[in-house]
Amino acid sequence: MPFSRFSQSFPLRPGLRWTLVLAAAALTGCVSVPAPDLQADVPPQWNNASRGAAAPAPAEWWKAYGDPQLDGLVEQALAGNLTIAEAHARLQAARKLHDAANAPYLPNLNFRTRDAVAADASSSYFQAGFDATWEFGLFGRGEGAERQARASVDAAAATLQGARVSVAAEVVRAWRELRSAQLRQRLLKEAVTLQERQVELVSLRERTRLASRVDVERTQAALEQARAALADPGMAVRQSALKLAVLLGRHEPDPAWSREPALAANPAVPAAIASTPADMLRTRPDVQMAQARVLDAAGALGIARADLYPRLGIGGSLTVASNFANNFNRRNTPTYTQTIFSLGPLIDIPLFDWGQRQAAAHARSDELDAALLAYRQAVLEGWSEAESALIELDQYRQRREAEERALQAIGRAADHAGRLTASKLSSEFDNADLASRRIQAQLALSATTLAQDLAFISLHKAVGGAPAWRGEERSSAASSH
């Protein structure tokens, strides 16, 4: 038994016993640690969100792209990602331990045996019996243990939700990077075709002595540079597809992902957000994790303070002991067999330990203060990340609108130049520069659009945007094991 046991041959008066128990229970409320205050000072609204713009639902923010294929990929990743499945399994383990958190403060029953031989080998002893203990968990000890177990569950749940938020964001990121790389690849192929035609025109002008050999070599070098530039988007396409496969828990990418889609305008993402800074406290995983650490620190402080007070309980045992004398001599019989029963209070009173328990209580109090400060810091960092993403999103929106206007102007100039060429008022060679500038403007617009996408993803990752995990859900990856 874990406490000093005082067996007694006379029964305690029931009135005195229950008086002691009730008195100890009354003292429990005086030493228990109150629930920590987790109020955070956040503004009521985001400072840098666009006003009046339509905002996507926080739990399904990627649907703002209007891409059914992307929607399906996110759903598959949330169901089959291995990191999510691992986090789900750890949450299940934490919940099972939480269910048994109060077990040390319930009646416990054990069966034990013991066999010993006397030093002179003249006799042996055998004991068998039951040992029962019941610690009351007074002075906040039981409450502290429950808080720590609850904190483990909350931390595991925060880890799971963090995995879901991260996986959803990374799937959208990989998909948008894949589509952006495919668009750049298409534009660079057009640039190669345009440069090949330019080499033909300059070579023709050289034969008619309208251009020099230097001009031919210059255009040939530009052609090779355009061909070399194709390597970057090709590599990005393959890497993004591989990243998607890993996120979905697959060994290899789907070949359909690498097929270039029909050329379409990049969808504009809104610069608004439906959630508020206060919602971030309930949805951002690292804030939830900080809350769990505060709860764990409060539980540890409760146990440390309870250690300053006696540990009280009831214990009892029923033992059957046998003494065998000269057991190897067939003429002798066992000396005796005796049954022993004991019942009494279990008391562990801290008297003098050189201040160790006091130091532990003070240290746990400081750790609770540190956990509360870490919680406030997590809230502040989350708010800052979201505001920073809103600033980027708005700036890239303005930059994209300007680049779209520039592309439209180049397009109008190219159309006018085409009409002049058709009217024999200018040549194809004279208008080649406009075609090249048009492709460069499209490439710049593609890069800005991708940057805007990444800011949009960072914004919803910063506020914890993902479908909340519900207890009845099980990922397909987890259930397959």
SS3 sequence, 249-280?
CCCCCCHHHHCCCCCCCCCCCCCCCCCCHHHH
* 94's tokens: 């934490």
Hey, what domains does the chain have and what are their CATH numbers? 4-26+66-268+304-372+390-479 (1.20.1600.10)
Chain segment 451-475, per-residue pLDDT in tens: 999 999 998 888 887 776 655 444 4
Kindly tell me if the per-residue pLDDT of 414 is higher than 90.
no
Please say whether the dihedral angle defined by the alpha carbons of residues 384, 386, 390 and 396, taken in this order, is positive or negative: positive
Kindly tell me if the per-residue pLDDT of 335 is higher than 80.
no
Higher-confidence residue of 299 and 41: namely 299
Kindly tell me if the per-residue pLDDT of 255 is higher than 90.
no
Least confident of 116-120, 123-127, 177-181, 375-379: 116-120
Kindly tell me if the per-residue pLDDT of 331 is higher than 80.
no
Least confident of 117-131, 245-259, 288-302: 117-131
Q: What is the mean pLDDT of residues 441-450?
A: 92
Chain segment 258-289, per-residue pLDDT in tens: 777 665 556 667 666 777 888 888 888 989 89
Q: Chain-centre distance of CA 111, in angstroms?
A: 44
According to the model, what pLDDT value does residue 174 have? Answer: 94
Please say whether the dihedral angle defined by the alpha carbons of residues 442, 443, 445 and 449, taken in this order, is positive or negative: positive
Q: pTM score > 0.75 for this model?
A: yes
Chain segment 45-85, per-residue pLDDT in tens: 888 877 656 677 778 888 888 888 899 999 999 988 899 99
Give the residue among 271, 70, 95 at the shortest CA–CA distance from 173: 70
Chain segment 11-46, per-residue pLDDT in tens: 444 454 445 445 544 454 455 667 777 777 788 888
Give the residue among 69, 31, 19, 14 at the shortest CA–CA distance from 357: 31
Q: What is the mean pLDDT of residues 140-145?
A: 86
Q: What is the mean pLDDT of residues 113-136?
A: 74
